[in-house]
Chains A and B, each alone.
Chain A
Amino acid sequence: MADTKKEHELIVTVSPHIKDEETTSRIMWSVNLSLLPAVLMGAYFFGPKAVFTMALSIISAVLSEYIYQKALNKKVAINDGSAFLTGLLLGMNLPASVPFYIPIIGSAVAIVITKQLFGGLGFNVFNPALIGRAFLLISFPKLMTIWTQPDAAFVYLDAKTTATPLGILKEEGISKLIEIFGDKMNLYVELLKGHRAGSIGETSAIALLIGAAFLLYKRYITWHIPVSFLGTATLIAYIFGGKSAETGKMILFAGDPVLHLISGGLILGAFFMATDYVTCPSVKKGQILFGIGCGFLTMLIRIKGGFPEGVMFAILIMNCFAPLIDRGFKSRVFGAVKIKESKK
């Protein structure tokens, strides 16, 4: 019996005895991978400075997680890819021109305050990368709104600055944008490619959509949040986004939804930030409400608020509601409705 297993070596655990291959870290690293096209486009348009900023952000995030977990004698879990993802997303949400301490501070705030102090992975209320960015925007408003002109990036030292398309749209209207980009078609094409001022990773709509398609295909995200988010934003942009060129007053049903969709952080936000498992509702019906809320708040800020861009605050505000939405949309227990019907 030498080649057989001895009884006392048997493992005894509770069922089920088989488990799916999917793991948390595989999901996290897949999301990281899906952001690669947008990272590459950001590096292409904004140059080495952009790569440097994103790298610093990632390193700072991972290091913050490591130091925190070591210091508090917790299991170090930097390999799960979640801190890397937070750092990467924060880096992609920064202008390329920020000084080196900006991504470092932002990532530390994101990881230590937003994530770890709330209990670590799975327990944070807010999207860590977005809190990191919000913190930076409020603390360093000037540095966080200096936008490099994409072409100038390769000339590294004397990069020209400009406003983002959304900034121009807000201050000077759509005619100015068309003036800058030549004609409307060219404007769309350039925006899709990402050839415009903005945060490093948000500009290339095409690259982001490739990543999003990968996530949807792998079922790491579902359509519920992106579609309801972008759909609501599109609708509001169309109805309330139009402005008279002369008076600057709102004209109903004259907005340009396409411009709104691809000129800011909507794509990045709707597919990669609002869909963060931890901070969005878990029930699908609730996710639709969550997406509608995000879309509404984004457009409210863009059209009526003081900032040209509203994606970040919209998602953060909706994050607060996620647990409540989950409570309200408790899934239907098998057979439950039938009881009500039979009572009638």
Chain B
Amino acid sequence: MALATFKGGVHPPDKKELAKNEPIKEAKSPQRVLIPLSQHLGAPCKSIVSIGQEVKKGEMIGEAGGFVSAPVHSSVSGKVIAIGDFPNAMGKMVTSIVIENDGKEEWTNIKDNPDYIKLSPEELKEKIKAAGIVGMGGAAFPTLVKLSPPKEKPIDTVIINGAECEPYLTADYRLMIEKPKEIIEGLKILMKVLNVNKGFVGIEDNKPDAVQKMKEAAKNEPNIEVLALEVKYPQGAEKMLIRAVTGREVPPRGLPMDVSVVVQNVGTALAVYEAARYGKPLIERVVTVTGEGINRPANLMVKVGTLVSDLIEQCGGLKNTAGKVISGGPMMGFALSSLDTPVTKGTSGILALPEEGIAHAEDFGPCIRCGRCIDICAMGLMPSMLSILSERGFYEDAKEYNLFDCFECGSCAFVCPSKRPIVQLIRLAKSLVKP
């Protein structure tokens, strides 16, 4: 039987073997953490601590700044030594709190509640909200918002995204291998909160052992199905995943809830479980430190706020050949201009690519209209036309070619034989016109 998938897509070399077999290890607790108050889509948090204040591990330091927002917590115990603006992975200045680690790892009150599944949906939601959980696949959309659909949008399916279609990254893979039971529990909690009795876990077929582990963990759950998906980028994009798993297509510019689906990442499911059972806030996550430019690739459990430079040092430093350090995967991640950038809730990987082989954008040629980008665009767009229109300044015209349906997965720029910076041109157009 053909594996479930979507139309279009590309096959970049997956390079997962670099870090695939490295079990998740606790990263060294850093001397100080730099915790941005905006780690998610939506309103930034408001600081509720002052300089000099002692905080415990797991203590809330920033409260949610609105409905589409999520609180942040201290990932270490220690003293607040600075509050100010620091650049995040995209180079944008974000108000952040610096905490000096006292090394005691003193928790705020964390209690094990093995009967968590008996909690009411409202109580569970409250726990998820308090834990500051956001989507951990990269976009960092506050989870609570996804779990609070408006009445006219009933939800009937929850999908756990284990596709991890970005090359190099293995964080979700390791979680599925090492904590399959907990992920399934997380899914059950999500299903309970949304009052849904159909749950799926979608995993790309290049991780057969993960599929196996998850299937075992879910074998007593008649409502949960673990599906192997075709290996194809961007299989893990929400809309593509929903298409592959349920056959439903999210309408243009629509949201998963428009087709009655909620998608959550593997890491998010784990965080939901830990929040529901222990009341543990989201203060650490698995980060894959990998790439040909790093000496010792690893999967690390990292405290939010740890600097990228600390992680790289722990992994043996950068090789001399390294040319680019990326936060996230090679298809959609952000190239870092400074290594003193903190890991946030959405950082799935730190990737060091060798200088050789990096396509420099200034070398691009004219569009030869080969149509490759049109054939592979998962959204059914015409990236070639969008890039030409943007290049010539016809930004308004680009809207006729569905400019705002592009979610910038980068497949078009990947296949372009003229090496055109299609995504960059599309972003430019998006920033200059209103939807």
Binding site for B on A (CB under 8 A): 1, 3-5, 7, 9-20, 22-24, 26-27, 77, 80, 119-123, 277-278, 280, 282-284, 326, 330-339
Q: Which residue of B lies closest to A322 (CB)?
A: B369
B320 touches A3 (CB 8 A): yes
A20 touches B415 (CB 8 A): yes
Contact A277:B371 (CB < 8 A) given known A4-B317, A333-B379: yes
Binding site for A on B (CB under 8 A): 10, 12-13, 167, 239, 243, 248-252, 254, 293, 317-326, 328, 330-339, 351, 353, 355, 357-361, 365-372, 374-375, 377-382, 384-385, 401-402, 405, 408, 410-411, 413-419, 421, 423-424, 427
Contact A18:B380 (CB < 8 A) given known A7-B339, A24-B365, A122-B368: no
B414 touches A333 (CB 8 A): no
User: How far, in Å, is A28 (CB) from chain B's closest CB?
Assistant: 9
Q: Which 8 A-B pairs have the closest CB atoms?
A: A16-B410, A122-B366, A282-B371, A335-B249, A19-B359, A5-B318, A12-B335, A14-B424
Find B380's partner among A278, A333, A339 (CB 8 Å cutoff): A333
User: How far, in Å, is B419 (CB) from chain A's closest CB?
Assistant: 6
Contact A27:B330 (CB < 8 A) given known A17-B358, A18-B167, A19-B359: no
A333 touches B381 (CB 8 A): yes
CA A315 to CA B111, docked complex, whole Å: 76
A18 touches B353 (CB 8 A): yes
From A3, A282, A330, name the one whose CB has the most chain B CB atoms within 10 angstroms: A282
- Complex interface: chain B residues within 8 A of A278 (CB): 368-369
Knowing that A14-B424, A22-B372 are A-B contacts, what are 10 other residue pairs whose CB atoms are under 8 Å apart, sorted by A's residue number? A7-B339, A10-B339, A12-B335, A16-B414, A17-B330, A19-B416, A119-B366, A122-B367, A333-B252, A334-B252
B379 touches A334 (CB 8 A): yes
CA A277 to CA B366, docked complex, whole Å: 12
CA A332 to CA B374, docked complex, whole Å: 10
Contact A10:B325 (CB < 8 A) given known A5-B319, A23-B419, A333-B381: yes
Interface residues of B: mostly helix, strand, loop or mixed? loop
B252 touches A15 (CB 8 A): no
- Complex interface: chain B residues within 8 A of A10 (CB): 322-325, 335-337, 339
User: How far, in Å, is B416 (CB) from chain A's closest CB?
Assistant: 7
CA A17 to CA B423, docked complex, whole Å: 11
Contact A331:B353 (CB < 8 A) given known A27-B370, A120-B366: no
- Complex interface: chain A residues within 8 A of B366 (CB): 119-123
A4 touches B318 (CB 8 A): yes
Find A121's partner among B339, B365, B375, B421 (CB 8 Å cutoff): B365
User: How far, in Å, is A262 (CB) from chain B's closest CB?
Assistant: 29
CA A277 to CA B367, docked complex, whole Å: 10
In the complex, 29 of the A-B residue pairs with CB atoms within 8 angstroms, ordered by the A residue number, are A7-B339, A11-B335, A14-B427, A15-B408, A16-B410, A18-B12, A18-B13, A20-B10, A23-B419, A24-B368, A77-B365, A119-B366, A120-B366, A121-B368, A122-B367, A123-B366, A277-B370, A282-B370, A282-B371, A283-B382, A284-B375, A326-B385, A331-B377, A332-B380, A333-B380, A335-B239, A335-B252, A335-B254, A336-B380
